[in-house]
Amino acid sequence: MVPLSWYLTLSAALFNIGLFGVLARRNAVAILLGIELMLNAVNINLVAFWRYGDPTVITGQVFAIIVFAVAAAEVAVGLALIISVYRNRSTVIANDIDMLKW
């Protein structure tokens, strides 16, 4: 049987890979991809805790579902922003999108 530790480790690894993506990728879309990875890691954790805790208490899954909703919203808005930025500045390189300084 699989112990909880495996799941946690896996999710931690996935989370940090996503984190790396977020921090290191130049492309804004790629950054969003990283965020998706992190969210999935979180979901894995939630579901795992549900399953390894008391399965009759459904909270973990509910949280996971809400995370889905948040993820969907975040992607919709984020991509919309990126596209409109691309229209105006014709770039999606995060470091070139630095209008917001002083």
Partner 1 sequence: MDFMQIIFLLCAALILGAALMVVTTRNMIHAALWLIATLFGVAILYVLLNAGFLAVVQVVIYIGAIAILFIFAVMLTRREMRDQGPQLNNGWWMAVLISLLSFGGLFLLFTNWSGFGKMMVNIPAGTDTLRELGSALVSPNAFVIPFEVASVLLLAALIGAVYVSFRGK
Partner 2 sequence: MATETLIWLIPLPPLLAFFLIILFTNKNKALSHWVGVGAAALSWLGSMIVFIRALKVEHLGQHPFHSAINWLPTADTWLKIGVLIDPVGAATLFFVAWTIFMIFIYSVGYQNYGQPEGDHDIKGLPPHGATVIDPNGHKHKVPSIEPMYSRFFAFLGLFACGMYTLVVSDNLLTMFIGWEIMGLCSYLLIGFWYGKESARNAAIKAFMTTRIGDVFMLLGIAFLYTATGTLSFRTIFSEEVLRALATTPAFFGFSAAGAIGLLLFIGTVGKSAQWPLHVWLPDAMEGPTPVSAMIHAATMVSAGVYAVIRMFPLITADFSGQGLTPTMSIIAFIGAFTALFAATIAVAQNDIKRVLAYSTISQLGYMIAALGIGAYVAGAFHLVTHAFFKALLFLGSGSVIHGMEHGVLHTGDHNTDPQDMFNMGGLRRKMPITFWTFLIGGFALSGFPILTAGFWSKDEILADAFGHGHLVVFIVLALAALLTAFYTMRQISLTFLGEPRTKAAEHAQETTWTMTVPLIILAVFAISYGWVGIPENFPIIGGLIPNWFHEFVGSTLAEIPEGVGFNIVPLVTSLCVALGGLFLGWLVYHNVKTDASDPLKKPLGPIHTLLKKKYYFDEIYDFLFVKPAYWIAETLVSKWMDNGVIDGILHGIAWVGSHLGTLLRNYIDAPVVNGFGDLVGEGTKKIGASMRPIQSGRIQYYMLTSLVVLIVVGGLLYYLLVLA
Would you say 87 or 102 has its CB closer to partner 1? Answer: 87
Cα separation, 39 vs 74, in Å, equals 11
70 binds, among partner 1, partner 2, none (CB under 5 to 8 A by kind): partner 1
* Contact predicate 66/43, CB 8 Å: no
* Contact predicate 36/68, CB 8 Å: no
* Contact predicate 36/22, CB 8 Å: no
Binding mask 41-80 for partner 2 (x = CB under 8 A): ----------------------------------------
Would you say 1 or 102 has its CB closer to partner 1? Answer: 1
Cα angle at 31 between 29 and 34, to 5 degrees? 115
Q: Does 88 bind partner 2 (CB under 8 A)?
A: no
Could you list the residues that contact partner 2 (CB under 8 A)?
Answer: 19, 22-24, 31, 94-95, 97-102
